[in-house]
Amino acid sequence: MRVAILLYPASAPEGLRTLAKGLADGLQANGHQVDTFDLKLEDSVRVGIYDYICIGASGASAFSGKIDPALTRRLDSIGSLSGKRCFAFVRKQM
């Protein structure tokens, strides 16, 4: 299965990248092909070829699980996410 991990860090991306690397390593150990993208740095991300989408974001503040509203607009510009299996995780700001 082809898996895309899409990251949208708020300020300090290191923690979110560490979580994504652990997730990617686990998926690859199970035989899946994994690609990781930083949505703030990459403009030409297309997810049509992927079977499973993982979305990781940083929380808006240390006490909130809310995400940046710009992520919603960015996901709209990526392409067709409908019909894809996916999940999302939010890392608290520290």
pLDDT band at 44 (very low <50, low <70, confident <90, very high): confident
Residue-level pLDDT at 15: 85
User: Looking at residue 94, what is its pLDDT?
Assistant: 60
DSSP-derived pairing of the beta strands 85-91 and 33-38: unpaired
What confidence score (pLDDT) does residue 37 get?
A: 92
Most confident of 4-8, 9-13, 78-82: 4-8
pLDDT at 26 over 90: yes
Q: What is the pTM of this model?
A: 0.86
